[in-house]
Chain A
């Protein structure tokens, strides 16, 4: 009786896609959050300056 088909490369590709896409999306959330926090800090600083002038 024949054993299972050798589909190791497809298995690796499948999980590579799953881990890759999830890592990319979580990374994008982190980068967007950091960028927005920087913007927020800069804008708050500008607002304070405007109020003191």
Chain B
């Protein structure tokens, strides 16, 4: 298990190369937005991070269901790994959104439906990690984690649809904007290409990170087993 699979090494190289290419596209290929200027370029990785955050939480819920059905600890490991990665990318989304908002909305933060639901979603999953770490017995911890990951996932569609259901100043990327939205823009072809490539890059990066994090979980469990064996 400890030997790194060749496919993972290939994924590392591909994900790294794609990330460099995505940065180059954002910095040098995507045109400057005519009103917002350079800060609009945060959009490409802001939305890609949001996509990965939500995808990761969906993966966690899916593996939560699998764990409850099969009671296999491997599913619990993937679920935990996905939640951890989801938290990282949701954090990037919230912080970069705040930075983008400052010059456009003239405020670092506002309790807009999208910002509020995104923050609630992040806190829900932070609580998952905290509560999980408080349970000693592995099977109970995994069962609790699975149920929590499934219920916690309710915060994801709520966050996604918040800008479509409520009055908001947050712009919509796909679909029509609320009349009160500020910071919306029409994407040119080059912008769309950069955006799509960023989404793909982050998706490949997510798969790579997930695999690494799952391997870390396997090693952690192995060390835990060795400790228990020596204690007994």
Contact = CB atoms under 8 A, between A and B. Distances in A.
Q: Do A and B come from one complex?
A: yes
B49 A14 contact: no
Contacts, number: 94
Given A4-B34, A43-B223, A10 B49 contact: no
B103 A43 contact: no
B102 A10 contact: yes
Given A17-B92, A21-B91, A36-B219, A7 B227 contact: no
Contacts of B39: 5, 7, 10-11, 14
Given A5-B37, A7-B103, A47 B45 contact: no
B100 A43 contact: no
Interface residues of B, number: 38
A50 B219 contact: no
Contacts of B34: 3-4
Interface of A: 3-8, 10-11, 13-15, 17-18, 21-22, 25-26, 29, 32-33, 36-37, 39-40, 43-44, 46-47, 50
Q: Which 5 A-B pairs have the closest CB atoms?
A: A4-B37, A7-B39, A14-B42, A11-B38, A43-B226
Interface of B: 2, 32-42, 45-46, 49, 85, 88, 91-92, 95-96, 99-100, 102-103, 209, 212-213, 215-216, 219-220, 222-223, 226-227, 229-230
